[in-house]
Chain A
Amino acid sequence: MFRLDADKKVHFCDGVTRRDFLHAGALALLGLTLPQFMDLKAMGAVNPNKDINCIQLMLVGGPSQLDTWDMKPDAPASIRGPYKPIPTNVSGIQISEIFPRMAKHADKFALLRSVYHTAAAVHDTGCQMMQTGRLFRGGLESPNYGSVLSKEKGPKGAIPANVLLPYPIGQLGGNLPHGDTAGFLGKKYDPFVLNADPSDPNFHVPDMLPPDYIAALRVDRRRDWRNMIDQSVSYFESSQDAKLMDSTFNEAYTLMTSSKARAAFDLSQEPEEVRKKYGMNRFGQGCLLSRRLIENGVRFVTVNMFETVFNEITWDIHGSAPFSPISCMGNLVGPMFDNGFTSLIEDLDQRGLLENTLVVATGEFGRTPRINPAGGRDHWPQCWTIVLAGGGIKGGQVVGSSDSIAAAPRDRPVQPSHVAATVYHALGIPIDVILATPEGRQVRLVDHGFEPVVELFS
């Protein structure tokens, strides 16, 4: 707990009084565990008309379409795989038995079953395209959706507009960027990366508050003096990193002085049963944290389900080491997703937040229709399914379909650029917005010719 020396009246540079610091220890009283719809509305987190937020769940590894949301029970065993379809609460829509909780909420989400991409079938390209809508070429790195949203709308108060949980995607084998940064928009719009595991019992955002022995007055004068000294190198301005260091310090101070921002990251304010409902694992707690962040003014949250596909159980079910076996979908990865995703949808819905929060769950590609000799499935960018909910998405429907073995889209083929157009459409950002690179080159937000999948919204 942070204590203040109460004998002096202190203001921080940005006009925040020490009372904010003082309240730091009493945050639990703010308890945001129950629906406080009116309060949230007043804070601007809920505004059904305009401000749409987004949570993107990156299902790193690439879930098999055939074992999740596009099952082919009539196909031969070598194709349909070990899992069976189950009915959902929407007649006519079936999903895999590995998602029993999700099946009870099919009215709230839509399935897009005809997504494909034509780039190299490596994890990196798919991550890139599913988070930016574009394959990087000619030295041009396109910005992540959250970075664009952050640039177009700015942060709501002290909390960053764009947050990435829990860690950035690491090595996926292709040594290419993953599309989780602001790219040519500049590092200023990069997401705030949590870099901590929310399922850790001691989870907290590292270094959020000054230590006990540094009084607020000292925090303040340190900051003043630092600014003074920095003036001697104002010419550093031409360096992007120097400018960025300035803004990271400013953001850090803003974050420190906002009790609301700090509370947003405080999972201990959630009752134990809520935490358990999401699953006491990294992904589950990441979903829970994403909900808290949206409630507190974050506009865009990326939750990476995994950081690598090597030596870890993931969606990357090649069936042989160092990758995952197909059985993990039923006993580990599937339940992990089912609990995290479903709890998130339930909570957002219960709080009235679903209508202005788009939730997109997607992998970077699908898997081979035919089971390989190792009993797994390999990379297959030619066809896969993504799940969308909230933010104006009409639930209870399937858009697009695949052929009899889920090898290729049968109708309504959708590329990553279409998905990007759809996300931006939901977020209320016109897809023909022109962005400028640092060199002054003009780049359309979404390439010409790619329109949103409007059926999803009707």
Chain B
Amino acid sequence: MERSFLRRLSVVVALTAAVAAWSAAPSGAQSTVPYHSFDKSESAAQTWSHGQASRPVQPVSAHAVPNTSPLTGIRILPSSVSLAIPLMNQRIVVEGTYADGHVADLTAQASIRCANSGIAKLDHEDFVHPEGNGHTLLTASFKGHSVSAAVEVTNFSAPFVWSFRNQVLPVMTKMGCNSGPCHGAAAGKNGFKLTLRGFDPLTDYYTLTHQAIGRRTNRIEPAKSLILLKPTLTIAHGGGQRFPVGSPEYQVISGWIAAGMPPPKPSDPRIVDLEVYPHQASLVPGAEQQLVVMAKFSDGHYEDVTRWAKYDSGDEGVATVDPSGHVTMHGYGEAPVTVWYLSHVTFARMRIPYPYQLDEAVYQRAARQNYIDDYVLAHLQQLHIPPSPQATDAEFLRRAYLDAAGILPSPQETAAFLKDKSPDKRNRLIDALMKRPEFVDYWAYQWSDLLLVTSNQLSYPEMWSYYDWIRSSVSQDKPWNQFVRELVTASGNTLENGAANYWVIHRNPIEISENMTEAFLGINITCAHCHNHPLAKWTQKDYYGMADLFARVRLKMGQPAGARPGIGPIFRDVTVYSGTSGQYTDDRFSDPLPPKPLGAKALPLDTTVNLRAYFANWLTSPQNPYFARAVVNRVWKNFMGEGLVEPVDDMRATNPPTNEALLAAMVKDFVAHHMDVDYLIRTIMQSATYQTSSRPTEQNIVDQKYYSHYLVRRLPAEVLLDAISSVTQEPERFDSYPLGTRALQLPDTAVQSYFLTAFGRPIREQTQESERSSVPTITQALHIINGDTLNNKLRAQGNVLDKLIKAGDSDSQIVTYLYLAAFGRYPTDRELIALTGHLRTAEGVKVKGAMNPRRAALSDLAWAILTSQPFMFDH
């Protein structure tokens, strides 16, 4: 490298107060330096970026096509440059836009000039450096296109000192010093402990400047500070070399030491926003794109923090990103690249549209029923994915019954719906379905999963009381905020107020606050139990402050009602009430933390406010950015098979939705309709997106998350069992429940059922989506083939087959009936001929066993239908 910055820096090593300009620090200077020799598993992702021209384009997917679309223009990112801090530079990117909508990073190929080099200069690494106060123009040109950006330099000769809070700590964070495996560990490392990711600047300041008899920082000879000697491997360091002597990292830290180590002050500007350029981009396979990240501070100034931000790709099959914010595109699709700096997170959507030339008309002609379709189609258009056509009436009917109410339409209902010619029959069907008791059963079951209704933790009467409260809330269509508020503030006898049982299941303030956030905000804060959350902004103070909200809940136990293994004794007749005082204390903090909902205002420790009511206000408020989002995403997943955020209980800024605009619009609509869950369900079901066929087209077959076609999925355990029972007309027997109780009507998942367990029923131990599984296994197949659930129903006397035979139905009528009952459609002529033919042959074959040959053959046909994929899947 020509601009040997190491050579220049050898002079600077001895530097004291005079801090060499950071302008000497090209971002690629570390090409020979192992960034991260400590944990080699990360090494693949740690290649430093250089000028793009010298970087070989990686071979990507074999079906990559050369893009020949003409260049329509270029732009400079960011569109203007303001350099207000003498030692800081601005990275720029020249972005080309093409006729087909894709963009390309042309920084390496474009010619870029600064009009007045006395004001600003551009180096070979595409950084603009301040040279003197004033205004000038930066002009980029490429293939006949040209564009300019205004450059403003201020404060050029003003004295400047690096800020501990805003620059020194982020550098240490980026270098990994305060990460979990290193000095950020709860116990520190080798006697040196920093707060995880620098969440507590004041503590870190004292650790660095006062602890270890002040050896860590030497203000007389900064270069002799341990925090420079160790990470540069000038002396031995267990963590290996983190940055070389003279690197920009080195300069920030040494500059700060040399300036007398000013401490973090309450008056320090704070980060208020993080912006990334380009915010979203369509690129071609193999393309590379440098990101530029700007932090905005409370005093209005911006800093280019591209180098110090942390990056992560949400889908490494689509895009990977290196530590300098250099993105490489691999496969088709879209990946959010999250960017993290100080406490702020943002992301850039990087995508490679699928290689299809699609006419605008594909999207214009596509079915649209409501705003959901507009957002989905707009997104599909960006990705060059065509939507599938709308589902047939039969497909829609079966799907609607299963997704909204967990049941199959009866043969009569199917026949009537198929015959109906009115144009609004689908909407009428949706309305009718939502009035059915099975709809209430289904949603009561969903929320019982969420709220962990189980006799493993409650006495039977209490479990029923809890369940009945949920069920009656669903049947009243109680607004979601009211439902949750009733639960959060529930007091009184648990037999009278079912919602109060939540407080019997969750008794420890820590566990309560974890469960509340998981269930109602879709946020997992468990990490903050031991340390600040590594992927979200929650700190331990947030965590324990929130727990303090629940420290005054009291239980008065009634009579013992037995014990549950692993849980302990359970009680009947419990009374839940709120005490007027009490604090949650944890050894980690010398004083109790004031009660405080996540990211909200804290109450004074001695407050007499009803803490649960205070929490409920915050939790269910329309202003709470997480509350409505979490439930909208859960309900959406129920119908679409894939949440906009996955997993649904891991919503955080670093895990953005696949279609933010759609989720935001649905949340707004839901809040505007008073958090009416039925309204939300209706809106989703009425959309053309929900009513898209499950048959993929050749061009959208690869799509599993942008909703171009309905995603087929195995029926949930309970729905499958109920469907088998309903088609065979042989109800399942559940211990101590009246015959005819459907699996979806069980209030309890502790009810014994091999079938339900094998097919992935959740145990309701933890509020987690992943408790439920729909993965097919050999165990399930063996049970379906040999087990007694299905086989017993097929041979039971008086089941559907016996009834049909008794009624004198022909084979052809029976096949038709079974198709209607199981698949919600008529058999085709071909199917009918083939199956009746097989039946006729089989009925002539004697088989050992009790049944007559026809009955045996019909049982076998019913078996084949009830184990086939069109039956076991929702489609």
A233 interfacial contact with B, CB 8 Å = yes
User: CB within 8 Å of B: which of A191-232?
Assistant: 192-193, 195, 205-211, 213-215, 217-219, 221-222, 225-226, 228-230, 232
Q: In the docked arrangement, what's the CA distance between A241 and B180, Å? A: 37
Q: In the docked arrangement, what's the CA distance between A58 and B522, Å? A: 32
Q: Do residues B781 and A249 form an inter-chain contact, with CB atoms below 8 A?
A: yes
Q: Do residues B317 and A441 form an inter-chain contact, with CB atoms below 8 A?
A: yes
Q: Do residues B873 and A233 form an inter-chain contact, with CB atoms below 8 A?
A: yes
Q: Do residues A226 and B856 form an inter-chain contact, with CB atoms below 8 A?
A: no
Q: Do residues A245 and B779 form an inter-chain contact, with CB atoms below 8 A?
A: no
User: Within the complex, which residue of A210, A217, A310 is in contact with B566, where a contact is CB–CB below 8 Å?
Assistant: A310
Q: Do residues A171 and B766 form an inter-chain contact, with CB atoms below 8 A?
A: yes
Q: Do residues A252 and B314 form an inter-chain contact, with CB atoms below 8 A?
A: no
B607 interfacial contact with A, CB 8 Å = no
B378 interfacial contact with A, CB 8 Å = no
Binds B, one of A100-108, A132-140, A334-342: A132-140
Inter-chain contacts of A244 with B (CB < 8 A): 775-776
Number of inter-chain CB pairs below 8 Å: 207
Q: Do residues B860 and A239 form an inter-chain contact, with CB atoms below 8 A?
A: no
Given contacts A239-B712, A245-B869, A253-B785, contact A439 B181 (CB under 8 A): no
Given contacts A206-B779, A225-B835, A253-B785, contact A218 B856 (CB under 8 A): yes
Closest to B185 in A: A121
User: Within the complex, which residue of A232, A241, A449 is in contact with B774, where a contact is CB–CB below 8 Å?
Assistant: A241
Inter-chain contacts of B695 with A (CB < 8 A): 235
User: Within the complex, which residue of B331, B788, B870 is in contact with A211, where a contact is CB–CB below 8 Å?
Assistant: B788
Binds A, one of B115-123, B154-162, B203-211, B842-850: B842-850
B875 interfacial contact with A, CB 8 Å = yes
Given contacts A5-B848, A118-B181, contact A241 B714 (CB under 8 A): yes
Q: In the docked arrangement, what's the CA distance between A119 and B184, Å? A: 12
Q: In the docked arrangement, what's the CA distance between A193 and B760, Å? A: 13
A120 interfacial contact with B, CB 8 Å = yes
Q: In the docked arrangement, what's the CA distance between A213 and B783, Å? A: 15
Q: Do residues A236 and B875 form an inter-chain contact, with CB atoms below 8 A?
A: yes
Q: Do residues A256 and B786 form an inter-chain contact, with CB atoms below 8 A?
A: yes
Closest to B834 in A: A228
Q: Beta-carbon contacts of A250-270 to B below 8 Å, as 1s and 0s?
A: 011101100000000000000
User: CB within 8 Å of A: which of B350-364?
Assistant: none
Q: How many residues of B contact A (CB 8 A)?
A: 81
Instruction: Name the distance in Å between B233's Cβ and chain A's nearest Cβ.
Output: 17
Inter-chain contacts of B835 with A (CB < 8 A): 225, 228
Instruction: Name the distance in Å between A379's Cβ and chain B's nearest Cβ.
Output: 10
Q: Do residues B778 and A441 form an inter-chain contact, with CB atoms below 8 A?
A: no
Q: Do residues A256 and B782 form an inter-chain contact, with CB atoms below 8 A?
A: yes
Instruction: Name the distance in Å between B183's Cβ and chain A's nearest Cβ.
Output: 12
Q: Do residues A232 and B831 form an inter-chain contact, with CB atoms below 8 A?
A: yes
Interface residues on chain A, size class: 35 or more
Given contacts A207-B783, A226-B864, A253-B785, contact A450 B316 (CB under 8 A): no
Q: Do residues B795 and A213 form an inter-chain contact, with CB atoms below 8 A?
A: yes
A9 interfacial contact with B, CB 8 Å = no
Q: In the docked arrangement, what's the CA distance between A387 and B44, Å? A: 30
B41 interfacial contact with A, CB 8 Å = yes
Given contacts A221-B842, A229-B870, contact A213 B786 (CB under 8 A): no
Q: Do residues B786 and A241 form an inter-chain contact, with CB atoms below 8 A?
A: no
Inter-chain contacts of B842 with A (CB < 8 A): 221
Given contacts A187-B775, A225-B864, contact A440 B782 (CB under 8 A): no
B424 interfacial contact with A, CB 8 Å = no
Q: Do residues A213 and B754 form an inter-chain contact, with CB atoms below 8 A?
A: no
Q: Do residues A255 and B314 form an inter-chain contact, with CB atoms below 8 A?
A: no
Q: Do residues A248 and B776 form an inter-chain contact, with CB atoms below 8 A?
A: yes
B413 interfacial contact with A, CB 8 Å = no
B528 interfacial contact with A, CB 8 Å = no
A434 interfacial contact with B, CB 8 Å = no
User: Within the complex, which residue of B312, B847, B848, B869 is in contact with A242, where a contact is CB–CB below 8 Å?
Assistant: B869
User: CB within 8 Å of A: which of B390-408?
Assistant: none
Q: Do residues A241 and B713 form an inter-chain contact, with CB atoms below 8 A?
A: yes
Inter-chain contacts of A232 with B (CB < 8 A): 831, 870
Given contacts A118-B39, A239-B713, contact A222 B316 (CB under 8 A): no
A76 interfacial contact with B, CB 8 Å = no
Q: Do residues A207 and B317 form an inter-chain contact, with CB atoms below 8 A?
A: no
Inter-chain contacts of A174 with B (CB < 8 A): 526
B863 interfacial contact with A, CB 8 Å = yes
B438 interfacial contact with A, CB 8 Å = no
Inter-chain contacts of B385 with A (CB < 8 A): none
Inter-chain contacts of A235 with B (CB < 8 A): 694-696
A448 interfacial contact with B, CB 8 Å = yes
Q: Do residues B868 and A230 form an inter-chain contact, with CB atoms below 8 A?
A: yes
Q: In the docked arrangement, what's the CA distance between A252 and B867, Å? A: 14
User: Within the complex, which residue of A5, A208, A222, A438 is in contact with B782, where a contact is CB–CB below 8 Å?
Assistant: A208
Q: In the docked arrangement, what's the CA distance between A242 and B780, Å? A: 13
Q: Do residues A226 and B778 form an inter-chain contact, with CB atoms below 8 A?
A: no
Q: Do residues A248 and B868 form an inter-chain contact, with CB atoms below 8 A?
A: no
Q: In the docked arrangement, what's the CA distance between A210 and B181, Å? A: 53
User: Within the complex, which residue of B312, B333, B783 is in contact with A439, where a contact is CB–CB below 8 Å?
Assistant: B333
Given contacts A175-B526, A226-B868, contact A134 B41 (CB under 8 A): yes
User: CB within 8 Å of A: which of B829-875?
Assistant: 831, 834-835, 838, 842, 845, 847-850, 856, 860-861, 863-865, 867-870, 872-873, 875
Q: Do residues B43 and A218 form an inter-chain contact, with CB atoms below 8 A?
A: no
Inter-chain contacts of B860 with A (CB < 8 A): 218, 221-222, 225
B581 interfacial contact with A, CB 8 Å = no
Inter-chain contacts of A256 with B (CB < 8 A): 782, 785-786
16 A-B pairs besides A174-B526, A228-B835, A251-B778 with CB distance below 8 A are A139-B315, A139-B316, A207-B783, A209-B786, A213-B850, A214-B786, A215-B849, A217-B845, A218-B847, A221-B842, A225-B864, A229-B864, A233-B873, A238-B701, A256-B782, A441-B330
| 17 examples of A-B residue contacts, CB within 8 angstroms | A120-B180, A139-B315, A173-B526, A195-B758, A213-B850, A214-B786, A215-B847, A217-B847, A221-B842, A226-B868, A228-B864, A232-B831, A233-B870, A235-B696, A236-B873, A242-B712, A251-B781
The 7 closest A-B pairs by CB, nearest first: A439-B317, A5-B848, A225-B864, A252-B781, A118-B181, A245-B776, A207-B782
Q: Which residues of A contact B (CB under 8 A)?
A: 5, 7, 118-121, 134-135, 137-140, 160, 171, 173-175, 187, 190, 192-193, 195, 205-211, 213-215, 217-219, 221-222, 225-226, 228-230, 232-233, 235-236, 238-239, 241-242, 244-246, 248-249, 251-253, 255-256, 310-312, 415, 417, 437-441, 447-450
Q: Which residues of B contact A (CB under 8 A)?
A: 38-41, 43-44, 61, 180-181, 185, 312-318, 320, 330-331, 333, 524, 526, 534, 565-567, 694-696, 701-702, 711-714, 754, 758, 765-766, 768, 770, 774-783, 785-788, 791, 795, 831, 834-835, 838, 842, 845, 847-850, 856, 860-861, 863-865, 867-870, 872-873, 875
